[in-house]
Structure 1
Amino acid sequence: MKKKIIFSLALFLAIFSFTGANAAERPVKDSAIIFIYRPGQFSGAGANWAIYVDDKKICKLSNNKYLFVVVPAGKHTISSRIGGVGMFKKNTELEIEVEEGGDYYVACNIKSSITRTRLELIEVAKSTGKKEIDKMSIDNCLDD
């Protein structure tokens, strides 16, 4: 009987102590969370794009992955860059205004033309972003 109670208690704690990325603790007062994700696309699948927030490198975002960053309330600039040698490289930027306690979602889609490939950054609705990242895993953030 005692084993059943302990097992039930352990199971209860294991189930209800799990929290997803959306419930991430905000370690700083007046902060918001920006989720940046890259849906799985065949085009450019092998490329890892470096993601910067306010000119600080956060992660090299892989295909079909997401990351999140805690930022203070206010305006922030998100940008993407790809490494290596290339002609007509274009870095892309998105300026986003965040409010305290908010969750914001940015989708990264690969756009190609004859001369270049770039990562397009688009702010999306919370419901859309949440639905998209539920199908993904968090990126392990390559650092090179």
Structure 2
Amino acid sequence: MRYLLCTGLLLAAASASYAQGALPEPTPDMATVVFYRPPMLAQAGVNFTVRANGAELCRLSNKRYFVAKLKPGETAFTSVAGGLNIPDQDKFDLNLEAGKVYYIQGDVKTRLMTVKMVFTEVTESTYKKKNADLKPDNCEVAAPAESK
């Protein structure tokens, strides 16, 4: 009996560990985009500048997330390692709709001499599983980025 009670308590604690942070509330006239970078050992010290249609949103660090409110419409997201002003190579296009929340995971890929962040849209449930380990990034999103 004691074994079953301990097992039940452990399972309850494990399932409750997902709900650390609150999920963002959608805004009726803007799209809400949550960018996050899951914990990774490779390139953990490198942050990536995330841009929407060329406008800088934030510098995303390892085990961090940030929330951006953007105008609806076709939006091209890009990233570059650090604060370098080199042209962004890869882009991730998304047609944003007002009142919706989007979750974008950034994975770091290392090639021979380059490091890049690859964006993937994920579901809310996938984000909930990962957000227990994430902290908000230290970026000031002053104004929403302009759409094309």
Fold agreement, TM-score > 0.5: yes
Tell me how far apart the structure 1 counterparts of residues 118 and 63 of structure 2 sit (CA, whole Å): 15
Q: Specify which of 113, 117, 127 is matched with residue 125 of structure 2.
A: 127
Aligned length: 120
Partner of 2:24: 22
1:65 is displaced (CA, Å) by 0.2
Gaps of 5+ in 1: 1-18
Is residue 66 of structure 2 the alignment partner of residue 67 of structure 1? yes
What TM-score comes out, normalization by structure 2 length?
0.70
Partner of 2:137: 139
- 1:90/1:70 Cα in 2 relative to 1: closer, same or farther (>3 Å)? closer
1:82 is displaced (CA, Å) by 1.5
1:61 is displaced (CA, Å) by 0.6
* Aligned-partner residue type, residue 56 of structure 1: A
Q: How much identity, in percent, do the aligned residues show?
A: 26
- 1:133/1:124 Cα in 2 relative to 1: closer, same or farther (>3 Å)? same
Tell me how far apart the structure 1 counterparts of residues 139 and 48 of structure 2 sit (CA, whole Å): 10
Greater mean deviation of Cα atoms: 50-59 or 124-133: 124-133
Correspondences of 1:89-108 after superposition (within 5 Å)? 91-108=89-106
* CA RMSD, Structure 1 to Structure 2 (Å): 2.6
Tell me how far apart the structure 1 counterparts of residues 55 and 64 of structure 2 sit (CA, whole Å): 20
Partner of 2:75: 76
CA contact (8 A) 1:90 1:116 kept: no
Is residue 46 of structure 2 the alignment partner of residue 47 of structure 1? yes
| Larger relative contact order (Cα-Cα within 8 Å, sequence gap ≥ 6) | 2
Rg larger for: 1
1:76 is displaced (CA, Å) by 1.0
- 1:129/1:83 Cα in 2 relative to 1: closer, same or farther (>3 Å)? same
Gaps of 5+ in 2: 1-20, 141-148
Greater mean deviation of Cα atoms: 120-129 or 102-111: 120-129
